[in-house]
Amino acid sequence: MSERTGSPGGRAAAPAPGPPPRRRDGFWGALDAAQRTTLRQVSRPRGFQPRTPLCYQGEESDHIMVIESGWAKVCSSTADGHEVVLAVRGPGDLVCESAVLGSRQRSATVTALSPIRALVVPAARFTGFLDAHPEVWLLVSGTFVRRLDDADRRLQAHVSARGAQRLALLLAQLAELSARHCPPAADGSVDIAPPLSQEELGSWMDASRETVARALNSLRRRGLVSTGWRKITVVDLPGLRAFAQGRQVD
């Protein structure tokens, strides 16, 4: 006699559906519904126009932000006033947090690249939120680790790759980031979402604007990207990755 239980006819009952998987795209996407509700309750929404700073390098830390929509660049100024692009942040990302949690002045300026909607959370309320939700501390720690890994990859690329390869690596990473927020086109091409200029790309990869222009021309000739004003489309993402890694591209 069968020991299976469930529907008539001896068929096993379908297992009860479990909770939906938690999204991991950015800090906000990794929070559950209750955590998001709580964080909204201690925050205030604010909008920023392009080229508006969200926070300034060197200022005292009194708030953090979660980007709900839009894109921002993270920059650091050198002693001689030169601006270096360190990263971009987009929907779901936590910004301006390291100085708050480290009780120090801000080490970079975060500036809107496009219209941004963000949640602004006072420092004391954010640390209180973390104390009430200890598991979120792990998410914040994971964010720090991933950003350190990104910085290590940038340094390795600077040491080991030529200009066109460095740009290919950067564009491949930006395409993968962009595809998480906007699906690729039917032909597999991906529009780079953060509206970065050639000068900003050059600052990020430690190269001149002229080097970026030559590298883009090289990638276009290979059929890997297409370009327009402040717009770059990755036409062949697997090919771009292969080129960035020094592998032959047909």
Give residue-wise pLDDT tens across range 72-104: 999 998 778 788 999 999 999 999 877 667 666
For the chain, how many structural domains are there in total? 2
Instruction: Give the model's pLDDT for residue 110.
Output: 94
**pLDDT tens profile 203-226:** 998 889 999 999 999 999 999 999
pLDDT at 9 over 60: no
> Which of 101, 129, 155 is the C-terminal boundary of a domain?
155
Residues 225 and 207 placed together within one structural domain of the fold? yes
- Determine the structural domain holding residue 38 and report its residue range: 26-155
Residue 173 lies in a domain: yes
Residues 31 and 140 placed together within one structural domain of the fold? yes
Instruction: Give the model's pLDDT for residue 143.
Output: 78
Instruction: Give the model's pLDDT for residue 82.
Output: 82
Q: Which residue has better confidence, 162 or 169?
A: 169
> Which of 123, 140, 155 is the C-terminal boundary of a domain?
155
**pLDDT tens profile 12-38:** 343 333 333 334 468 999 999 999 999
Residue 170 lies in a domain: yes
> Which of 155, 171, 198 is the C-terminal boundary of a domain?
155
Residues 170 and 149 placed together within one structural domain of the fold? no
The CATH number of whichever domain residue 184 belongs to comes to 1.10.10.10
Residue 192 lies in a domain: yes
Residues 150 and 181 placed together within one structural domain of the fold? no
Residue 10 lies in a domain: no
Residues 30 and 151 placed together within one structural domain of the fold? yes
Residues 122 and 33 placed together within one structural domain of the fold? yes
Residue 18 lies in a domain: no
Instruction: Give the model's pLDDT for residue 60.
Output: 79
Instruction: Give the model's pLDDT for residue 21.
Output: 35
State percent of the chain over pLDDT 70: 83
Instruction: Give the model's pLDDT for residue 156.
Output: 67
pLDDT at 8 over 50: no
Residues 137 and 169 placed together within one structural domain of the fold? no
Instruction: Give the model's pLDDT for residue 58.
Output: 84
Residues 46 and 149 placed together within one structural domain of the fold? yes
Instruction: Give the model's pLDDT for residue 102.
Output: 64
Q: How far apart are CA 211 and CA 84, in angstroms?
A: 16
Please state the pTM of the whole predicted model.
0.81
**pLDDT tens profile 97-152:** 776 676 667 888 999 999 999 999 998 999 999 999 999 988 888 777 777 777 77
